[in-house]
Structure 1
Amino acid sequence: MEDSIFFTTRLKSKRKKKRLVKTDLEKEVRKHFKRQREISNEKNNIPLIPLEVPYQKGYVRYFVLRDDIKNEKDIAFFSEILSKINTEQFAPTKKFTKKEKRNRKRIDVPMIQHLKMLHPYEFSGKDSKLTDRERDYFIETQVYNQFTKTFQLFYEFIQPWRFRLIVKPNMITHYKPLDLELEREEAENDKFCDNHRNRGLFLKKIVGNGYSYDSKPNLKNPFKGKKFYNNKNSAFEIAEILMEQGNQVSKRYH
């Protein structure tokens, strides 16, 4: 009886054991990265507590509607646009300058502040922030990204003269308390997620952004280092042969 039970029981093979170890690790990675998002949301949802004595920390600069706009309809309309494209800048002084190196010297340079330019998904589509009338006041423009070395599409407000900058003291009136247990859990979770192996597994298996340096075929120049004047085939036949080889390589990598 014991022998029959032993032989009828399905034992795990070596390959299946290795597969189970990888599956368990993937589940653990999923759980930690999911918990990472949950902790971030919990920290953002911690209510602010008002300070007994507010204090000033530098200055803030932002756009407001000009005073010479007297039409009430225009005031409401452009105030709504401004709420969607307004920007803020902070500085320790009212000068709003920053240090830049010029001619081997670090000098103060005025900070430039612009209205926010909208991405294509913010301009139109299901996630759009604008109405049909508001879209008439934006123009398509391209901005060069020095990191990706490409031009990116944005939508810019065509009447920035309707707004002006004002400077006000940056008053700190509330603070967010620290949850020590949540901070400790976040530190332990981040240590696991920042591991090179775990993050690589997350990007490759879960997010799906894995890549390879050899993803593109390395097509060599067929005319380099070869002499075709001894070839008996005609130019058209040589071209057909090269096109067939190119098609075979392209089918292999698509």
Structure 2
Amino acid sequence: MENDNLLYCRLRSLRSRKRIIKKDVEKQIRKKYKRSKELSEIRRNQPLIPLEEPYQLGFVRFFAVRDDVMRSSDGEFFQGILKKINTYMYSSSRQFLKKKRKFGRKIYVEKEQKLNSISLYSWSNPKFGLTPRERQYFLMYEEYCPLRKGYKTYYEFIEPWRFILMTRPHMITHYKPIDAELEKEYAELESYLGQHKAVGILQKKIHGKSNSWKMKYERHLIKSRKYIACAMSATEIAECFEDL
């Protein structure tokens, strides 16, 4: 009788076995996720090796401070702003053209290049390095995003005329060595972590969000479609009180 009771205590219930299996799977995903981050850091920090003979790979176009602005007393100031909002575009030719359909036929037009806008997160992030004086040269805009069904806030530079586009040959002078074993292990980890079940556990247990793509945006009450039909002007409200 005692042996039967001891055997019964050692046997786990179905719910307990499922819980243990679930915890083991989560531990395995956490371990692989940690290893993936380590390999990613190793790949990122691999030193570049200089080429014996540099070669040209097309052209690169970017913004630069105008000569007259650079010669002024604020030249270094605007150079610092440009480092934060500059953009680079690469092309196989110096013309930077793209195909566009017009009146049923394809034509080539020049690619448009603009300065980067600053997101709301970067604007309030001290690591981005915007000084109070630099903030005075940016203007806030709000744009409705139909995909996320919310308003996106960003900041744009108000004096883009201070910069001009420049084109230079894109020279390749260094290359990064490839470790075959490291790349193979990293690819296997990314394939495993990219599965539907693993992604769900990562979002819920590690990142702390079960549905990270469903973000809530703060919107003004008048801009909300729910209350747009109920909005009353100040004069209408005053007329209602006068009737009383």
Give the TM-score range, shorter chain: 0.7 to 0.9
Q: Distance in 2 between matches of 1:105 and 1:209?
A: 48
Contact 1:144–1:151, Cα closer than 8 Å, also in 2: yes
1:165-194 CA-to-partner distances (Å, cap 9, x unmatched) read 110000000011101110110122122112
Stretches of structure 1 lacking an aligned partner (at least 5 in a row):
212-254
The question of 1:188 aligning with 2:188 is answered yes
**Which amino acid is 1:24 matched to?**
D
Equivalence for 2:55: 55
Contact 1:121–1:128, Cα closer than 8 Å, also in 2: no
Distance of aligned partners of 1:182 and 1:58 in 2 relative to their CA distance in 1, 3 Å threshold: same
Equivalence for 1:90: 90
1:218-242 CA-to-partner distances (Å, cap 9, x unmatched) read xxxxxxxxxxxxxxxxxxxxxxxxx
Q: Distance in 2 between matches of 1:123 and 1:48?
A: 32
Distance of aligned partners of 1:70 and 1:205 in 2 relative to their CA distance in 1, 3 Å threshold: closer
Does 7-16 or 77-86 show the bigger shift? 7-16
- Identity score, percent: 44
Deviation at 1:202, TM superposition (A): 2.2
Does 188-197 or 171-180 show the bigger shift? 188-197
Q: Distance in 2 between matches of 1:87 and 1:99?
A: 21
1:93-148 CA-to-partner distances (Å, cap 9, x unmatched) read 11111122333333212111111111122223434421011111111123454643
Q: Distance in 1 between matches of 2:154 and 2:91?
A: 27
Q: Distance in 1 between matches of 2:89 and 2:63?
A: 10
Contact 2:48–2:176, Cα closer than 8 Å, also in 1: yes
Q: How does 1:36-47 map to 2 (within 5 A)?
A: 36-47=36-47
Equivalence for 2:168: 168
TM-score in terms of structure 1 length? 0.75
For these two proteins, the number of residue pairs brought into alignment is: 211
Distance of aligned partners of 1:152 and 1:4 in 2 relative to their CA distance in 1, 3 Å threshold: closer
Stretches of structure 2 lacking an aligned partner (at least 5 in a row):
212-244
Please report the RMSD computed on the Cα atoms of aligned residues, expressed in angstroms: 2.4
Equivalence for 2:219: none
Q: Distance in 2 between matches of 1:124 and 1:201?
A: 30
TM-score in terms of structure 2 length? 0.78
